[in-house]
Structure 1
Amino acid sequence: MRQAAALEATLRACNRAAGHVSQVAFESGVKDRNGLQKLVYADIKATFGLSAQPAVRVVKKVVDAYSALAAGLKADSAARAAATPSGPTVCPARRFVDSCLADPQAQQMWRDLMTAIQYFWRHPLAEQVREEGREEGRAQERAESVLRNLQWRRIDVPDAVRERVLSSTDMDELGAWLERSYQVSDAWELFAEGA
């Protein structure tokens, strides 16, 4: 019984710590393992009462989640596969912990927690990151359309114009430039007000 309670407390602390670490990663923009670990390691050990190994694993899990998002993986199907408490898709460490628990109640609690834990990519913060990524992708595509149209029309595009177009994230501005790109005879005319 004590084993089950200790396991539950540790898993819940790790889950809360992962939420905290993901927020720090999002706000700071630091998403590499070493950089993020330097930022949060001492804090999560002290704040969430984690020992060294769980603290390191929490950071790795958050970094892995951000990597999965950046790679454009299907997060929901990955979460379902990761949450499955048995079978060949289960992490070896998860199977190892399961096999080490002598208390049947602790084993069941472990399985239930592994299935029920809210993984990072289901977190509202992760949805915000995904939406921002989609919006950036739409802006990037529109900017590239402006430049492709000018290139197709054989209009020389100076580096300064290219940089200004590619650095814009304002969809209305990019839309206006795209419309103008069909009519201008010089790339600088994209930026003319009232054109």
Structure 2
Amino acid sequence: METVGFVGLGNMGGAIAANIGAAGYPLIVNDLNEEATRPLLESGARFGATPTEVAEGSDVIVTSLPSPREVELVALGAGGLMSGIGSGKVYVDLTSSHPNTIRKIGEAFRAKGTEVLDAPLIVGKGGIRERSVQVLASGDRAAYDRVKPVLDAFSDTVVYTGELGTGTYIKLAHNLVRRGIGLAIGEGLVLGAKVGVDPS
């Protein structure tokens, strides 16, 4: 079974990594807040002192980070994944990021023999811990087929969406639609209130 490296153990990342570990995958974990690694270490995961160390010890590397800035820093910055990757590894970013960011990383990583996937998430009502998650994966198809069992370990639906960056575009469109619906509902309630309709 492939060793999975995981960087970014916040509310989402910690739960995702726990589900991957529960599926039997050996884990190497890292977070700026070392306390966030404790539950996983107590469950048998190993600690990687830096993203470089995580990448060196992993077959599949996963990140779940706050924004494109952190993704680029962890992937390409000093002590980052770039210094630890090599031929035959696969990198998967779960962050709601930017297509240009993941494509920049993809170009750099492929030059060292590591394939890259972006796989942003749509979380359902059941939440991350209950695996109520849809994964929108894109990138090299063979790399996707290889890591799909890892994605299945923390989700209930995995969709392959095409070339690198496509999954992120779909997630951005999804966010736009959701926010648009929310704004429309708000406008409707205001309109109703103005003409005397009880919002309840």
TM-score, length-scaled by structure 2: 0.34
- Which of the two has greater strand per residue? 2
- Which of the two has greater helix per residue? 1
Q: Which has the higher contact order (CA 8 A, sep 6+)?
A: 1
Choose 1 or 2 for highest CA Rg: 1
TM-score, length-scaled by structure 1: 0.34
